[in-house]
Amino acid sequence: MMYNGVQCEFPPGYDGTVLLERLQPILDPELDESILQLGFIQSLHVHDGHATIAVQLPTSWCAANFAYMMADDIRRALLTVEGIHQVTVRLQDHFAAEAIETAVNAGKPFAEAFPGEGCGSLSALRVTFLHKGFTSRQERLLRALRAVGFLPEDICALRVGDVVVQGDACVVQRAGHASIEVGAAETLCRYLARRAELGLDCAATAPLMTDLRGHPLTVERLEAYYQTARTVRVSLEANGLFCRTLLTVSQPNAGERAR
């Protein structure tokens, strides 16, 4: 049976939706998008508590480090599901599939997948891309605020608590002002989620727009900051698009999976 374009095989009566839910937050770190929505998950089979998952990346040359991160994140996420005691990740058609699968499926670190190739930990790389994702998510919120006419002084004065989700929309509610809708709720949620993930202050009284160190953006700095952030967002989105296009060529079904 198919769930969101993923070919699934579960034991009779088994509810596999929880597995797919656990996969949902896993991101392609380089693109800052869900691997499920990118269409990277080809199939998911569960037999006797053993989950086997096939991952198809856009090309066989996708960078080994990011491929490892995604495979490792998948395995860890599925192992948190009650009743799943073993996970096997298969990387389809990838130049380093064997090395990555062997390490990931045995729970070994990246350095052990490629001994002697100068592999340290991937944590610094992961942080770099969490930061790029932060900037890109923040740019979308900044863009939405600018689009409805917020001036730099308005934007810099906003607190986290001034912006709320109402249905599918993001709404600015400031004392003494009429409420204004500023784009999709998802834009705000994604920004705040990453902000929290990075350990930045998300209290209602905290400034809405801060840099990666948590320093509030000042009116003088805002325009230059936005211009840089805009390029980060364009870069990430263009790469995501390129990857989706490539995946659709090799895997016509991926179009169905991808959102």
Partner 1 sequence: MYTHQGQDIFVIDGHTHLWDASPANWRNKYGEGWIKCFYAFHNGLSPAEATWPFEKFCQYGEETLVDDLFFKGYVDMGILNSTYLYEFYLNGFNSHSQNNAIKAKYPDRFILCGSFDPRAEEAGLDAFHQMVEEYPIQGLKLYTAEWRDGSRGWRLNDPWAYKYLDLCQELGIKNLHVHKGPTVYPLSRDAFDVHDVDYAATDFPDLNFIVEHVGLPRLEDFCWIATQESNVYAGLSVAMAFSRLRPQYFAEIIANLLFWLGPDKLCFGSDYAIWSPKWLIEKFMAFELPDDIKKEYGVDLTLEIKRKILGENAARLYGIDIAMQKAKLSQDGIGVKLATVA
Return residues touching partner 1 (CB under 8 A): 30, 58-65, 93, 95, 110-111, 114, 116-122, 124-125, 128, 132, 227-228, 230-232, 234-235, 237-239, 241-242, 245-246, 248-250
| Pairing, β 2-3 against β 180-184 | unpaired
What is the closest distance, in whole angstroms, from the C-beta atom of residue 245 to partner 1 in the complex? 4
Q: How far is the CB of 58 from partner 1 (least distance, A)?
A: 8
Give whichever of 16 and 183 is closer to partner 1, judged by the CB atom.
183
Cβ proximity to partner 1: between 218 and 235 the closer is: 235
DSSP line for 222-245: HHHHHHHHHHHHHHHHHHHHHHHH
The least CB distance from residue 149 to partner 1, in Å, is 14
Name which of 39 and 58 has its Cβ closer to partner 1: 58
Give yes or no for a contact between 134 and 195, defined as CB atoms under 8 angstroms apart: yes
Closest separation in Å from C-beta 132 to partner 1? 8
Give the C-alpha separation, 203 to 226, whole Å: 23
| Alpha-carbon dihedral angle through residues 155, 160, 166, 167, given to the nearest 10 degrees | 100
Q: Which is nearer to partner 1, 190 or 233 (CB)?
A: 233
Residue 249 Cβ vs partner 1, minimum distance, rounded to whole Å:
4
Q: Considering the complex, state which of residue 20 and residue 246 has its C-beta at the smaller distance from partner 1.
A: 246
Return the number of the residue (30 or 72) whose C-beta is nearest partner 1.
Answer: 30
Task: Decide if 230 contacts 142 (C-beta within 8 A).
Answer: no
- Quote the strand ranges of the chain, DSSP E: 2-3, 6-9, 27-28, 33-34, 41-47, 50-56, 86-92, 163-166, 169-172, 180-184
Q: What string of DSSP letters covers 24-37?
A: TT-EETTTTEEHHH
Provide, rounded to whole angstroms, the least separation between the CB of residue 4 and partner 1: 22
